[in-house]
Every structure is written in C-alpha cells, then in structure tokens.
Structure 1
Amino acid sequence: MTDAPEIHITGKQLLAMQPGQVHALYKLRVDIFVNEQQTTFAEIDDADADPGTHHILAYVHPGHAPDFRWGTPDPGSPLKLVGTARVFGPPEEQQIGRLCVHQDFRGYGFARQIVENSLEVARGRAAALDPTLQKAVVKIDAQVATEPFYASYGFEPVGDAFTVEGIEHQEMHLTLD
C-alpha cells in the first residue's frame, strides 16, 4: 500500500504504563479479540500484569489535520495505538501472544514489525541462558489462518490443532539460536 503511516514501536511492562496507555491497550485487544472475532473469553488476564511480561506497543501519529487522517488519538496521548503483542514466560520457554493490529491499519506490514520486535525481546531475554545447556523456545498459539505468517519466521506446528472460542488454533514453536 502507498501512503502508509509511520509506525513507532516501543515496549513496556503494564505497571510502567500510564493509565491512558493501559486503557488503549485493553480497548484495542477487546475490540479485536472480543468484538471483531466475537469471542467471550476473558481477554484481560494475570499474564498482562506479571512483571516479566513485556508489551509491544505500535503507535502512529494521527496527523495534525482536524480530521485526524489516521484516526483519533488515544486518551492523554497525541499518538494512536494501532497494534500490540506481549512476550511472557521464562527465558527458556517464552510465549508471544495477543498479537493484533487495528483493522484500519492492516495491510501496512505492522504485524510483521511487531513480531520482529517481539522476537528481539525474546532473544534478549534468552541471552542469559547457557547455550550449551539450555535451548530457548518461543511458543505461539496461532490462529490456523495465520499459520503461514508465523511459518515465515521459522515457527513450526507442534501437536494437533485445537479450538478456542470457536476459532481453530495451532501451537507453533521456534527454537532461538
């Protein structure tokens, strides 16, 4: 696509976020996972607030025009949260989850940038492991429709597909080098 908005990616622990950031994070995830995908599971869970969980936050600047070309800014911020993911779990068995991009911002490659950033975080967390004794694995419970996307990073299916809230998923693993 042409004329793509510029994305700014950062990451934080939930407890280090401002209230407006937490609100934007949860609103985006609920809008996508609960409303758009019509699921009823508890979107907000204890993994979010765990001190070891790193939230990837992808923002765009809505622009300076009155019509806010790229949407309305989030409360208390000149930026708009358009994508997110989280990395959690012990360094030897991390998980990437809750990857989502606002529907108005799909097709710009933002999901790819978020996954790349998530894998950087996972590699950084795994750097403390002894590579001769321990392997670092990153897991994803991918929606089956997104399996080729994750396979492009080297993730491989593990076990049989399973259903969560009517959506078929496949556990996938990537061993970090």
Structure 2
Amino acid sequence: MTTSPTYTPPTYTTDVRRLEDFSAVDLYAMLKMRVDVFVVEQECAYPELDGNDLDCLHLRLFEGTDLLACARLWRPSPDVLPRIGRVAVSPDHRGKRLGEALMREAVIECEKAYPGEAIEISAQAHLQKFYGSLGFERTSEEYVEDGIPHVDMVRQATAPT
C-alpha cells in the first residue's frame, strides 16, 4: 500500500472580501484572471460577468502582490446549498499545488460563512478525482455547461468542533 505525500501548502496570503470592498485595480486583476482562464484559455464564450459577483465572497491567494488564484463563495438563494465557483489559478503560477490550496481555503471560508452546511460545486468533469480528494462526491450525471462537460458535486458538512 502506498501513502499519499503529506500536504504542504505553498507560500501565500489569503484575502476574502465582498465585491464592494475591492479597489478598481484589484477588481480588474481578478476579473482579468478569470477571463484569461475561462474565456481565453478554455476557449469558452460565456457571460463571465453574470450578475452574481455582487452577492459573493471573493477569495484570493497572493504571493506578495501577485494574484495567484481566486474563487467565489456564495449561496444563490436560501433553499440551495452554499457554492464554490469560478475557481481559477493564474496560468503564470501553475504547478505549485495552488488549486488544492485554493480549494482548501475556500472550504474553510464556506464553513465559516455557512456553518454546518454542505458545500456544492459544479465541477468540470475531468476534475472529479481532484475534487474527490478534497471530500466532494459526485451527485449528478454529466452535463454540458458552456460547451464543457460538468458534474455536480457536494462536500458534506463537517461536525462543529
């Protein structure tokens, strides 16, 4: 039996804030990263500015002043689970396990904002194993969203400590 390597997070600082608390420069940097990853790199024409950012907490990882990665955390309505979405790692900073670090931080922040509740994601289908390693379980059949195969996944709530 092999054991997985111990998780050692990369060096970064975190920032979590609402959209209205961003400077224009910081907002531009985050939105540019998301467009660079989702629209340009993935060649996916879709409404990146979907009107939901105003209702979200925005998590960002930095190394100094360099934006490494970002995600948004939100609950679309009271009758649905909290969600993590728009998970993006800067193409300039890939290969540093930042996706894992970002998702671990996102789960922690969701648990703070929505204690005792499960967390949902709409995952690109090819990333199921990655999200599964973070405790997310597939809850839907594969479907196509904006031209990319996706599956819904849920991470059950952790017991309060």
Band of TM-score, shorter chain = 0.7 to 0.9
Unaligned stretches of 5+ in structure 2? 1-8
How far does the alpha carbon of each residue in 1:77-96 deviate from its partner, in whole angstroms, 9 at most, with x for none? xx121210011006871000
Q: Give the deviation of 1:97 after TM superposition.
A: 0.2
AA aligned to 1:58 is L
Match of 2:84 among 81, 85, 96: 96
Match of 1:31 among 36, 44, 68: 36
Please report the RMSD computed on the Cα atoms of aligned residues, expressed in angstroms.
Answer: 1.8
AA aligned to 1:97 is G
In the TM superposition, 1:1-177 aligns within 5 A as 6-50=11-55, 53-61=56-64, 79-89=65-75, 93-127=81-115, 136-177=117-158
Percent identity at matched positions? 27
> How many corresponding residue pairs?
148
CA distance in structure 1 between the aligned counterparts of 2:83 and 2:137, rounded to whole angstroms: 14
CA distance in structure 2 between the aligned counterparts of 1:117 and 1:82, rounded to whole angstroms: 13
Contact 1:9 1:114 in 2 (8 A): no
SS in structure 1 of the partner of residue 141 of structure 2: coil
Q: Give the deviation of 1:165 after TM superposition.
A: 2.2
Contact 1:86 1:97 in 2 (8 A): yes
AA aligned to 2:13 is H
Q: Give the TM-score normalised by structure 1.
A: 0.78
Unaligned stretches of 5+ in structure 1? 62-78, 130-135
CA distance in structure 2 between the aligned counterparts of 1:5 and 1:42, rounded to whole angstroms: 32
CA distance in structure 1 between the aligned counterparts of 2:109 and 2:68, rounded to whole angstroms: 19
CA distance in structure 2 between the aligned counterparts of 1:152 and 1:110, rounded to whole angstroms: 14
CA distance in structure 1 between the aligned counterparts of 2:135 and 2:102, rounded to whole angstroms: 16
CA distance in structure 1 between the aligned counterparts of 2:90 and 2:72, rounded to whole angstroms: 16
CA distance in structure 2 between the aligned counterparts of 1:151 and 1:5, rounded to whole angstroms: 21
AA aligned to 2:61 is A
Structure ID, larger Rg: 1
